[in-house]
Amino acid sequence: MQCCFSFFDYQKTASSALTDMPSDLLGPFPKTNDVSASKTVAVLLEFVSDPKSKGTIVVAFGTVINWGRVPTEKFSAVLDALNSFSDYRIVWGYNGRDVEMKPHIYASKWIPQVDVLHDSRTVLFFSHGGLKSLKEATCSSVPSVFMPMFAEQVRNGWMAKSRISNPFWLLPLDLRHALNFSFATNAGRITAIFNDKVVHPLVNGVHHVNRLLKYGGRMPEYFYPRAITRDYLSHLNVDIIVIPVLTVITISF
């Protein structure tokens, strides 16, 4: 029995057809949430069901962004904007310091983001625009406002602006402009385009799993590139670069 995890063995044996993207660049992360959500969901459902509410606004910036470290002026701008939406119910994935919020804001370190986005009362998604957030917004047909922070989020934001026609403002006070029926129409249109595939993703996934099981959990060797068995130095051609450099240095001395 193997006693330890090996990234080399994982990359060598994993099927790329069953993976979405190399998200675990910093190490293995948990794929599920161990926090019990039954009580939270019950309270949350009661919160968003308020008959006085015009709809739900979801605010989520992932697990990396720490609201407690956001510059004061930036945080105040976001908080003031959210506090001004008293006629809506705001569900905020918040992990910062204790601050005074108005009663129409539900702040929690963990929120059932996918469930809330698919709720019929949700009218807007305010996010950092990460790849997963972009997909969730697309699949749930919810108009979105993206405020990119780092990595691919800027590209995702501009792509959403130019192709999805969702709003893209960096000023939180402009959130109210996104509560426009045309944006909801565009979001629904993009969802229809996204779902219009030759083969349904679930059917495609079942096909790949069944094919893998057919061969006993591992495809024949010709399905795998030869370079996958090489070490990183040779795979990245570092050895080809280092040898000429060492040769030049040796000749020089």
- pLDDT tens digit sequence for 207-234: 888 988 888 888 787 777 777 677 777 7
pLDDT score for 3: 62
Distance (Å, whole) CA 128 – CA 240: 40
Q: Helices marked H in the chain — which ranges?
A: 7-13, 38-48, 72-83, 113-117, 131-140, 153-159, 181-195, 201-214, 232-235, 238-252
Average pLDDT over residues 94-113: 90
Q: What is the mean pLDDT of the chain?
A: 77
Q: Where are the domains of the chain?
A: 7-24+202-252, 38-198
pLDDT greater at residue 121 or residue 18 = 121
Distance (Å, whole) CA 85 – CA 243: 63
pLDDT score for 106: 93
The three-state secondary structure class of 128 is: coil
pLDDT tens profile 58-99: 999 988 888 988 888 888 888 888 998 889 999 999 998 888
Q: What is the dihedral sign for C-alpha 174, 175, 177, 178? A: positive
Portion of the chain with pLDDT greater than 70, in percent: 75
Entry pTM: 0.63
Portion of the chain with pLDDT greater than 90, in percent: 8
pLDDT score for 26: 40
pLDDT greater at residue 168 or residue 152 = 152
Split at pLDDT 50, 70, 90, the class of 31 is very low
Report, at the CATH architecture level, how domain 38-198 is classified.
3-Layer(aba) Sandwich (3.40)
Phi, psi of 196 (to 5 degrees): -85, 85
pLDDT score for 176: 64
CA geometry: angle at 147 spanning 29 and 192, to 5°?
80
pLDDT score for 175: 65
pLDDT score for 18: 45
pLDDT score for 251: 87
Strands 105-108 and 122-127: unpaired
Among candidates 204, 206, 190, which has minimal Cα distance to 136? Answer: 190
Phi, psi of 51 (to 5 degrees): -65, -20
pLDDT greater at residue 56 or residue 193 = 56
Instruction: Give whichever of 23-27, 102-106, 195-199, 238-242 has the largest mean pLDDT.
Output: 102-106
